[in-house]
């Protein structure tokens, strides 16, 4: 377990990203969701991340129901604020336009105001069935930077000082604004999705060094870049769209090298994210018990230094990456 910044919140090196529990792209059953969380727990996962956005609250409800089987003091939960859910009556179709196979019974309202942050968190606690969460992130404030910094972030600071939450931060699919949060605020942690992977090291330029210098923890999501690094093949996805031919070729070359060392590319992808000393946890989404078990198994695979060296020599990784940390 690793602490998040100076907060005292402890997380496991591998975390479960709960977007798939909200029927990301395709529906799963309540039983499948429960079994996924249970499988992750049995393999040592003690950090679970969700958000109202994921399935219009379904992910939070399913995660909370599954976690009731376990002692509250033994795990950490994070959720997010910035999108409030407002009921739609009657529901209009489904939510697949936003990626979730659920009825459109709510609509998302962007809201990084102080009142919106508190209302969103209260609703999340109700859906989770918890009296507290350990971490709250400002969720995707890309187009709402002014309100997020002026109102949303100070609201999180107050919640932390009141003891309502243990750690605060921001979660985004970019590194630049997260770097601003690290440098200009007193966040404990930032969640960076897809920008520190075998195929994209943008977060390694400024964000990770700044976080390490200031004692801010980084949680890395999107280690597989939405699929390409899990199974590189024609038609595989990269950042939720069909992978460009050049990136597919690069991923296949990485897989060929990893195979020579007896290391699955999935294992190398996870190890790369975990290796940087600023990284406290790597979040991986799973939609079944088998996927959760596989993620844990891959996370435990040792990756020899020679593999990283060959990736660098082949020009597939920059010479300065990764900053390996034994585990």
Location of structure tokens 């890395």: 220
Catalytic residue of the set 54, 75, 196, 238: 54
In the annotation, is 54 catalytic? yes
Burial class (CB in 10 A: 0-12, 13-18, 19+), 258: buried
Q: Give me the residue label for tokens 């601003």.
A: 180
* Catalytic residue positions, numbered: 54
């Amino acid at each position: 377990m690793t602490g998040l910044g100076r907060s005292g919140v402890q997380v496991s090196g591998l975390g479960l990203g709960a977007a798939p529990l909200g029927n990301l792209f395709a529906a799963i059953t309540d039983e499948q969701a429960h079994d996924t969380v249970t499988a992750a727990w049995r393999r040592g996962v003690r950090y679970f991340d969700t958000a109202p956005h994921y399935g219009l609250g379904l992910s939070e409800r399913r995660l909370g129901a599954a976690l009731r089987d376990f002692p509250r003091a033994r795990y950490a939960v994070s959720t997010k604020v910035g999108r409030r859910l407002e009921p739609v009556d009657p529901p209009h179709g489904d939510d697949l336009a936003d990626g979730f196979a659920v009825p459109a019974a709510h609509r998302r309202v962007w809201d990084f105001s102080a009142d919106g942050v508190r209302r969103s968190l209260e609703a999340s606690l109700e859906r989770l069935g918890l009296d507290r969460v350990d971490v709250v992130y400002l969720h995707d404030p890309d187009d709402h930077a002014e309100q997020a910094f002026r109102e949303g972030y100070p609201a999180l600071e107050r919640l932390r000082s009141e003891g309502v939450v243990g750690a605060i931060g921001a979660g985004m699919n970019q590194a630049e604004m997260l770097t601003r949060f690290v440098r200009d605020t007193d966040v404990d942690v930032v969640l960076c999705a897809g920008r520190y992977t075998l195929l994209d090291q943008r977060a390694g330029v400024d964000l990770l060094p700044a976080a390490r210098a200031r004692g801010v923890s980084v949680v890395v999501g999107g280690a597989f870049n939405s699929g390409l690094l899990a199974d590189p093949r024609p038609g595989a996805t990269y950042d939720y769209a069909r992978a460009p031919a050049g990136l597919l070729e690069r991923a296949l070359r990485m897989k060929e090298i990893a195979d020579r060392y007896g290391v699955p590319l999935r294992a190398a992808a996870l190890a790369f994210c975990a290796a940087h000393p600023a990284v406290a946890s790597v979040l991986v989404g799973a939609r079944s018990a088998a996927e959760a078990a596989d993620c844990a198994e891959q996370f435990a695979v040792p990756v020899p230094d020679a593999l990283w060296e060959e990736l660098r020599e082949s020009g597939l990784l920059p010479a300065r990456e990764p900053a390996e940390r034994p585990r």
